[in-house]
């Protein structure tokens, strides 16, 4: 059993990525994992200011919600980032959070496996490539971790449309069951 942290990054209520994250979480729980979810909706996360004080203290000098999220990331065995694809890339709020997780770089982080679930209006196989590459770049900075797998669910345009997309719902559940 792993302690899995699922971070959903859509700011839209009842978003397609949130709906699929719920199915992923259900699958992971059915597989026996302890799952916690954090949504970035309603969170205050400022931009990294590049001061690098965190490399000495393992704490950010800014006092916002990114500090407690970093604590949760630090202590998870497995991370799952869930993002809508905007302009062929992860959401801006996800990228901002990744930048603010810089205090973990020199910390004794627990996570070893990182996954991504992404959604988009377009349904071509190349659509998530840059988002996955961006997350891979972050993971590459953590030598004990690996980007283990990703799932892309495309063809979802309207908010909440994923609730009726049975194939995507099943894929997300199976992806969750397969998390380590």
Number of domains making up the chain:
1
| pLDDT per position as a tens digit, 127-141 | 999 999 999 999 999
Q: Residue 104's domain is classified under what CATH number?
A: 3.40.50.360
Q: Which of 110, 179, 101, 96 is nearest to 141 (CA)?
A: 101
Task: Quickly list H helices, 31-165.
Answer: 54-57, 65-74, 92-100, 129-139
Q: What CA–CA distance (Å, rounded) separates 94 from 32?
A: 27
Residue 51 burial (CB < 10 Å; 0-12/13-18/19+)?
Answer: exposed
Q: Is the pLDDT of residue 117 over 90?
A: yes
Mean pLDDT of 61-84: 97
| pLDDT per position as a tens digit, 6-19 | 999 999 999 999 99
* Structural domain span for residue 58: 3-177
pLDDT number for residue 140: 98
Q: What CA–CA distance (Å, rounded) separates 7 from 116?
A: 10
Mean pLDDT of 96-109: 95
Task: Return the H-helix or E-strand segment holding 61.
Answer: none
Backbone φ and ψ of 90, nearest 5°: -60, 160
């Amino acid at each position: 059993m792993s302690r899995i942290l699922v971070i959903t990054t859509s700011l839209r209520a009842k978003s397609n990525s949130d709906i699929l994250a719920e199915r992923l979480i259900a699958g992971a729980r059915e597989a026996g994992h302890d799952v916690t979810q954090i949504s970035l909706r309603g969170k205050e996360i400022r931009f990294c200011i590049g001061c690098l004080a965190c490399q000495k203290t393992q704490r950010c000098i800014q006092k916002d919600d990114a500090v407690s999220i970093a604590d949760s990331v630090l202590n998870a065995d497995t991370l799952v980032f869930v993002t809508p694809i905007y302009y062929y890339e992860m959401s801006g709020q996800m990228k901002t959070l990744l930048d603010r997780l810089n205090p973990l770089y020199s910390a004794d982080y627990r996570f070893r496996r990182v996954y991504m679930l992404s959604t988009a209006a377009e349904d071509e196989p190349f659509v998530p490539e840059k988002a996955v590459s961006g997350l891979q770049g972050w993971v590459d900075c953590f030598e004990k971790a690996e980007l283990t797998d990703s799932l892309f669910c495309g063809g979802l345009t309207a908010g909440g449309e994923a609730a009726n997309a049975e194939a995507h719902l099943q894929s997300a559940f199976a992806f969750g069951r397969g998390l380590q």
